Copies of this chain bind each other. A is one copy, B any other.
C-alpha cells in the first residue's frame, strides 16, 4: 500500500502511535475462547496474572469493556448457568463466553489485523533501539 495513504488511513481510524491496549486485551480474550477457556471470572483472573512479570496489570474495567465490545461486534455471546447443580443450595451464577455462528471467522479476521499492528509496533521499537543505542 502507498505509504502516504497508509498514514492517512491510520489517522482516520484514530490509530495511534502504538497498538491500543483494548486490541491487545481482545486478542487474548479471543484466544481464551478458542481454547474453551471462556469462563468470565477465570478470564479476568488469568488476564491479571498473565503480564505481571512485565510490570503490567490490565485494568479490570478495560477487560470488561473488551468483552463487552466483542459481544457488541457479534463475535461472542454470553450464557449464564448456576455454579452448582442444585439451585436450592447454590445460587451463584457463572458467565460463559462462546463464539457466535460466524464469531470464529470474525475473530480470525480481527486477529489478522492485530497481527499487522503488532508487527508494525515491533518494527518501530526495534528501530528505536537500533537508532538510539550503539
Contacts and interface: CB of A to CB of B under 8 A. Distances in A.
**Consensus secondary structure, chain A interface:** helix
Interface in A44-101: 51-58
Interface string A3-31: 11011001100001111010010011011
B128 A24 contact: yes
Copies of this protein in the assembly total 2
Contacts of A129: 115, 118-119, 122
Size band of the interface chain A makes with B = 35 or more
Given A18-B19, A122-B122, A132 B55 contact: no
A125 B125 contact: yes
Contacts of A24: 17, 124, 128
Which of A31, A124, A126 lies at the interface centre, i.e. has the most chain B CB atoms within 10 A of its CB?
A124
Contacts of A21: 16-18
A123 interface: yes
A120 interface: yes
Nearest to A23: B128
